[in-house]
Structure 1
Amino acid sequence: MPFFLLWGFFIWLAASTFFRLAGPFFFTLEHPLIIMCTYLFVVPVIWMVTIPIYSIKNCTGIRRLQAAIYIALPGMLIDAIVLLYFDKIFTNLSADMDRFFASWLLWAYALIILTGCAKNSFRLQFKRVY
Protein backbone atom coordinates (compact mmCIF):
# COMPACT_ATOMS: atom_id res chain seq x y z
CA MET A 1 0.00 0.00 0.00
CA PRO A 2 2.91 2.47 0.21
CA PHE A 3 2.66 2.86 -3.56
CA PHE A 4 -0.88 4.20 -3.24
CA LEU A 5 0.12 6.68 -0.52
CA LEU A 6 2.88 7.96 -2.79
CA TRP A 7 0.53 8.06 -5.77
CA GLY A 8 -1.96 10.05 -3.69
CA PHE A 9 0.76 12.48 -2.66
CA PHE A 10 1.76 13.07 -6.29
CA ILE A 11 -1.87 13.60 -7.28
CA TRP A 12 -2.19 16.14 -4.46
CA LEU A 13 1.05 17.86 -5.50
CA ALA A 14 0.01 18.07 -9.16
CA ALA A 15 -3.47 19.39 -8.33
CA SER A 16 -2.17 21.90 -5.79
CA THR A 17 0.45 23.18 -8.21
CA PHE A 18 -2.13 23.43 -10.97
CA PHE A 19 -4.54 25.45 -8.83
CA ARG A 20 -1.72 27.57 -7.42
CA LEU A 21 -0.85 28.59 -10.99
CA ALA A 22 -4.19 28.46 -12.81
CA GLY A 23 -6.72 28.71 -9.98
CA PRO A 24 -8.14 32.11 -10.94
CA PHE A 25 -9.39 30.64 -14.23
CA PHE A 26 -11.45 28.03 -12.37
CA PHE A 27 -12.42 29.62 -9.08
CA THR A 28 -13.87 33.06 -9.66
CA LEU A 29 -17.10 34.51 -8.33
CA GLU A 30 -17.66 36.37 -11.61
CA HIS A 31 -18.17 33.08 -13.48
CA PRO A 32 -20.20 30.60 -11.40
CA LEU A 33 -20.72 28.40 -14.47
CA ILE A 34 -16.97 27.83 -14.67
CA ILE A 35 -16.93 26.79 -11.01
CA MET A 36 -19.72 24.29 -11.74
CA CYS A 37 -17.79 22.95 -14.73
CA THR A 38 -14.76 22.47 -12.49
CA TYR A 39 -16.85 20.12 -10.34
CA LEU A 40 -17.86 18.14 -13.42
CA PHE A 41 -14.41 18.16 -15.02
CA VAL A 42 -12.82 16.45 -12.03
CA VAL A 43 -15.00 13.33 -12.45
CA PRO A 44 -13.18 11.97 -15.53
CA VAL A 45 -9.83 13.19 -14.17
CA ILE A 46 -10.28 11.18 -10.96
CA TRP A 47 -11.34 8.18 -13.02
CA MET A 48 -8.20 8.48 -15.18
CA VAL A 49 -5.81 8.68 -12.22
CA THR A 50 -7.34 5.83 -10.22
CA ILE A 51 -9.08 3.13 -12.26
CA PRO A 52 -6.07 2.25 -14.47
CA ILE A 53 -3.83 2.06 -11.38
CA TYR A 54 -6.19 -0.42 -9.73
CA SER A 55 -5.99 -2.58 -12.85
CA ILE A 56 -2.20 -2.31 -13.12
CA LYS A 57 -1.79 -3.24 -9.45
CA ASN A 58 -4.46 -5.99 -9.65
CA CYS A 59 -6.59 -4.43 -6.91
CA THR A 60 -9.98 -6.03 -6.56
CA GLY A 61 -12.48 -6.36 -3.77
CA ILE A 62 -11.60 -4.81 -0.47
CA ARG A 63 -8.01 -4.15 -1.62
CA ARG A 64 -9.38 -1.74 -4.20
CA LEU A 65 -11.26 0.19 -1.53
CA GLN A 66 -8.16 0.24 0.66
CA ALA A 67 -6.11 1.52 -2.28
CA ALA A 68 -8.64 4.31 -2.88
CA ILE A 69 -8.46 5.34 0.76
CA TYR A 70 -4.67 5.36 0.64
CA ILE A 71 -4.74 7.49 -2.52
CA ALA A 72 -7.07 10.04 -0.91
CA LEU A 73 -5.41 10.10 2.51
CA PRO A 74 -2.24 12.15 1.84
CA GLY A 75 -4.15 14.96 0.16
CA MET A 76 -6.85 15.01 2.80
CA LEU A 77 -4.32 15.27 5.61
CA ILE A 78 -2.21 17.91 3.86
CA ASP A 79 -5.21 19.96 2.72
CA ALA A 80 -6.58 20.03 6.27
CA ILE A 81 -3.57 22.24 7.05
CA VAL A 82 -3.32 24.00 3.70
CA LEU A 83 -6.89 25.27 3.99
CA LEU A 84 -6.03 26.98 7.28
CA TYR A 85 -3.50 29.09 5.35
CA PHE A 86 -5.50 29.33 2.13
CA ASP A 87 -4.95 33.07 1.62
CA LYS A 88 -1.18 32.70 2.08
CA ILE A 89 -0.73 29.62 -0.10
CA PHE A 90 -3.19 30.42 -2.87
CA THR A 91 -2.36 34.10 -3.14
CA ASN A 92 -3.73 34.22 -6.67
CA LEU A 93 -7.24 33.30 -5.46
CA SER A 94 -9.62 35.56 -3.61
CA ALA A 95 -9.96 34.70 0.08
CA ASP A 96 -13.71 34.40 -0.58
CA MET A 97 -13.00 31.36 -2.74
CA ASP A 98 -11.75 29.26 0.17
CA ARG A 99 -15.14 27.68 0.80
CA PHE A 100 -15.59 26.81 -2.89
CA PHE A 101 -12.10 25.36 -3.04
CA ALA A 102 -12.67 23.35 0.16
CA SER A 103 -15.99 22.09 -1.20
CA TRP A 104 -14.30 21.07 -4.45
CA LEU A 105 -11.60 19.22 -2.50
CA LEU A 106 -14.20 17.26 -0.54
CA TRP A 107 -15.94 16.39 -3.80
CA ALA A 108 -12.67 15.21 -5.39
CA TYR A 109 -11.65 13.09 -2.38
CA ALA A 110 -15.13 11.56 -2.21
CA LEU A 111 -14.84 10.65 -5.89
CA ILE A 112 -11.48 8.98 -5.26
CA ILE A 113 -12.98 6.87 -2.48
CA LEU A 114 -16.00 6.02 -4.64
CA THR A 115 -13.68 4.61 -7.32
CA GLY A 116 -12.71 2.00 -4.77
CA CYS A 117 -16.32 0.92 -4.39
CA ALA A 118 -16.54 -0.99 -7.63
CA LYS A 119 -19.49 -3.21 -8.37
CA ASN A 120 -19.08 -6.58 -6.68
CA SER A 121 -16.01 -5.42 -4.71
CA PHE A 122 -17.51 -6.35 -1.38
CA ARG A 123 -19.32 -9.41 -2.68
CA LEU A 124 -16.02 -10.86 -3.94
CA GLN A 125 -14.37 -10.29 -0.58
CA PHE A 126 -17.38 -11.72 1.28
CA LYS A 127 -17.27 -14.92 -0.79
CA ARG A 128 -13.58 -15.44 0.08
CA VAL A 129 -14.32 -15.27 3.79
CA TYR A 130 -17.14 -17.84 3.63
Structure 2
Amino acid sequence: MNTRDRLSLVLVGFSIWAAATMAYRQVGSIFFERSVMEYWLNVASTGALYTLVFVGLMRWRRIETKDWLQGAICLALPGMLGEIPILAGFAELMSNMQPKTAGRYAAFLFSGYSILLGFAWFKAVREVRLLTSERLH
Protein backbone atom coordinates (compact mmCIF):
# COMPACT_ATOMS: atom_id res chain seq x y z
CA MET A 1 0.00 0.00 0.00
CA ASN A 2 1.55 3.27 -1.05
CA THR A 3 1.17 6.83 0.19
CA ARG A 4 -1.24 7.71 -2.61
CA ASP A 5 -3.54 4.84 -1.56
CA ARG A 6 -3.43 5.95 2.07
CA LEU A 7 -4.21 9.58 1.24
CA SER A 8 -6.96 8.55 -1.13
CA LEU A 9 -8.59 6.38 1.54
CA VAL A 10 -8.32 9.15 4.14
CA LEU A 11 -10.09 11.53 1.74
CA VAL A 12 -12.75 8.94 0.89
CA GLY A 13 -13.21 8.24 4.61
CA PHE A 14 -13.62 11.94 5.34
CA SER A 15 -16.11 12.32 2.48
CA ILE A 16 -18.19 9.35 3.62
CA TRP A 17 -18.18 10.62 7.21
CA ALA A 18 -19.15 14.17 6.20
CA ALA A 19 -21.98 13.00 3.93
CA ALA A 20 -23.32 10.53 6.50
CA THR A 21 -23.11 13.10 9.31
CA MET A 22 -25.03 15.66 7.26
CA ALA A 23 -27.66 13.05 6.39
CA TYR A 24 -28.04 11.97 10.03
CA ARG A 25 -28.23 15.63 11.06
CA GLN A 26 -31.28 15.98 8.80
CA VAL A 27 -33.05 12.64 9.26
CA GLY A 28 -31.25 10.88 12.12
CA SER A 29 -34.38 10.57 14.22
CA ILE A 30 -35.76 8.12 11.63
CA PHE A 31 -32.78 5.82 12.20
CA PHE A 32 -32.15 6.24 15.92
CA GLU A 33 -35.42 7.17 17.63
CA ARG A 34 -37.80 4.48 16.46
CA SER A 35 -38.21 0.98 17.85
CA VAL A 36 -35.38 -1.07 19.29
CA MET A 37 -35.81 -3.60 16.46
CA GLU A 38 -35.45 -0.89 13.79
CA TYR A 39 -32.37 0.47 15.55
CA TRP A 40 -30.64 -2.93 15.60
CA LEU A 41 -31.63 -3.57 12.00
CA ASN A 42 -29.95 -0.26 11.13
CA VAL A 43 -26.83 -1.27 13.08
CA ALA A 44 -26.58 -4.66 11.35
CA SER A 45 -27.34 -3.43 7.85
CA THR A 46 -24.94 -0.51 8.15
CA GLY A 47 -22.17 -2.82 9.37
CA ALA A 48 -22.74 -5.04 6.34
CA LEU A 49 -22.77 -2.00 4.06
CA TYR A 50 -19.47 -0.74 5.56
CA THR A 51 -17.91 -4.13 4.85
CA LEU A 52 -19.17 -4.30 1.26
CA VAL A 53 -18.04 -0.76 0.46
CA PHE A 54 -14.67 -1.45 2.07
CA VAL A 55 -14.08 -4.65 0.07
CA GLY A 56 -15.08 -2.82 -3.11
CA LEU A 57 -12.68 0.03 -2.40
CA MET A 58 -9.80 -2.30 -1.57
CA ARG A 59 -10.31 -4.31 -4.74
CA TRP A 60 -10.80 -1.20 -6.87
CA ARG A 61 -7.53 0.27 -5.55
CA ARG A 62 -5.89 -3.19 -5.93
CA ILE A 63 -4.71 -3.15 -2.34
CA GLU A 64 -3.31 -6.47 -1.17
CA THR A 65 -5.33 -8.22 1.51
CA LYS A 66 -2.37 -8.13 3.90
CA ASP A 67 -2.71 -4.31 3.88
CA TRP A 68 -6.45 -4.20 4.49
CA LEU A 69 -6.16 -3.28 8.17
CA GLN A 70 -4.03 -0.28 7.24
CA GLY A 71 -6.64 0.63 4.62
CA ALA A 72 -9.48 0.32 7.13
CA ILE A 73 -7.67 2.59 9.57
CA CYS A 74 -7.14 5.20 6.85
CA LEU A 75 -10.82 4.97 5.94
CA ALA A 76 -12.19 5.01 9.49
CA LEU A 77 -9.92 7.47 11.28
CA PRO A 78 -11.31 10.70 9.77
CA GLY A 79 -14.81 9.76 10.88
CA MET A 80 -13.71 8.57 14.29
CA LEU A 81 -11.91 11.85 14.92
CA GLY A 82 -14.68 13.89 13.30
CA GLU A 83 -17.24 12.43 15.67
CA ILE A 84 -15.48 13.79 18.75
CA PRO A 85 -16.89 17.33 18.40
CA ILE A 86 -20.20 16.00 17.07
CA LEU A 87 -20.75 13.83 20.14
CA ALA A 88 -19.45 16.54 22.49
CA GLY A 89 -21.99 19.02 21.10
CA PHE A 90 -24.66 16.51 20.12
CA ALA A 91 -27.70 18.46 21.34
CA GLU A 92 -26.71 21.57 19.37
CA LEU A 93 -25.20 19.94 16.27
CA MET A 94 -27.65 17.08 15.75
CA SER A 95 -30.73 19.12 16.59
CA ASN A 96 -33.23 16.86 14.82
CA MET A 97 -32.62 14.21 17.50
CA GLN A 98 -33.32 14.19 21.21
CA PRO A 99 -30.24 14.72 23.42
CA LYS A 100 -30.77 11.26 24.95
CA THR A 101 -30.28 9.75 21.47
CA ALA A 102 -26.55 10.56 21.69
CA GLY A 103 -25.95 7.19 23.38
CA ARG A 104 -27.64 5.23 20.61
CA TYR A 105 -25.83 7.30 18.00
CA ALA A 106 -22.44 6.72 19.65
CA ALA A 107 -23.12 2.99 20.02
CA PHE A 108 -24.06 2.86 16.34
CA LEU A 109 -20.77 4.55 15.42
CA PHE A 110 -18.72 2.23 17.64
CA SER A 111 -20.40 -0.81 16.13
CA GLY A 112 -19.80 0.32 12.56
CA TYR A 113 -16.15 1.16 13.09
CA SER A 114 -15.63 -2.05 15.09
CA ILE A 115 -17.17 -4.18 12.36
CA LEU A 116 -15.05 -2.49 9.69
CA LEU A 117 -11.78 -2.69 11.63
CA GLY A 118 -12.45 -6.20 12.91
CA PHE A 119 -13.24 -7.50 9.43
CA ALA A 120 -10.10 -5.89 7.97
CA TRP A 121 -7.96 -7.21 10.82
CA PHE A 122 -9.32 -10.73 10.36
CA LYS A 123 -8.68 -10.68 6.60
CA ALA A 124 -5.19 -9.17 6.92
CA VAL A 125 -4.05 -11.61 9.62
CA ARG A 126 -5.40 -14.53 7.64
CA GLU A 127 -3.55 -13.39 4.52
CA VAL A 128 -0.28 -12.83 6.40
CA ARG A 129 -0.55 -16.34 7.86
CA LEU A 130 -1.13 -17.79 4.40
CA LEU A 131 1.83 -15.88 2.98
CA THR A 132 4.05 -16.91 5.89
CA SER A 133 3.12 -20.59 5.62
CA GLU A 134 3.80 -20.50 1.85
CA ARG A 135 7.30 -19.13 2.50
CA LEU A 136 8.02 -21.88 5.01
CA HIS A 137 7.15 -24.64 2.56
**TM-score between the two structures when normalised by the length of structure 1:** 0.88
Asked whether the 8 Å contact 2:47–2:116 carries over to 1, the reply is no
Unaligned runs of 5+ in 2: 1-5
State the match for 1:122 in structure 2: 128
Task: Encode CA deviations 1:87-107: one digit per residue, 9 max, x unaligned.
Answer: 111000000000110010001
Give runs of ≥4 in structure 1 deviating > 6 Å. none
| Structure 2 residue aligned with 1:40 | 44
Please show how residues 1-130 of structure 1 align to structure 2 within 5 Å: 1-28=6-33, 30-117=34-121, 118=123, 120-124=126-130, 126=132
* CA offsets 1:71-124 (integer angstroms, 9 cap, x no match): 010000110221000111100000000011001000111122123231622225
Q: Cα 1:90–1:111, aligned 2, differ >3 Å: closer, same or farther?
A: same
Equivalent AA in structure 2 for residue 121 of structure 1:
E
List runs of 5+ in structure 1 lacking aligned partners: none
Q: CA 1:54 to 1:99, structure 2 compared with 1: closer, same or farther past 3 Å?
A: same
Question: What percent identity do the matched residue pairs reach?
Answer: 23
Counterpart contact for 1:87–1:93, Cα < 8 Å: yes
Deviation at 1:125, TM superposition (A): 5.5
Q: 1:129 to 1:41 in 2, by over 3 A?
A: same
Aligned residue pairs total: 129
CA RMSD of aligned residues (A): 2.0
Q: Within 2, Cα distance between the matches of 1:125 and 1:8?
A: 28
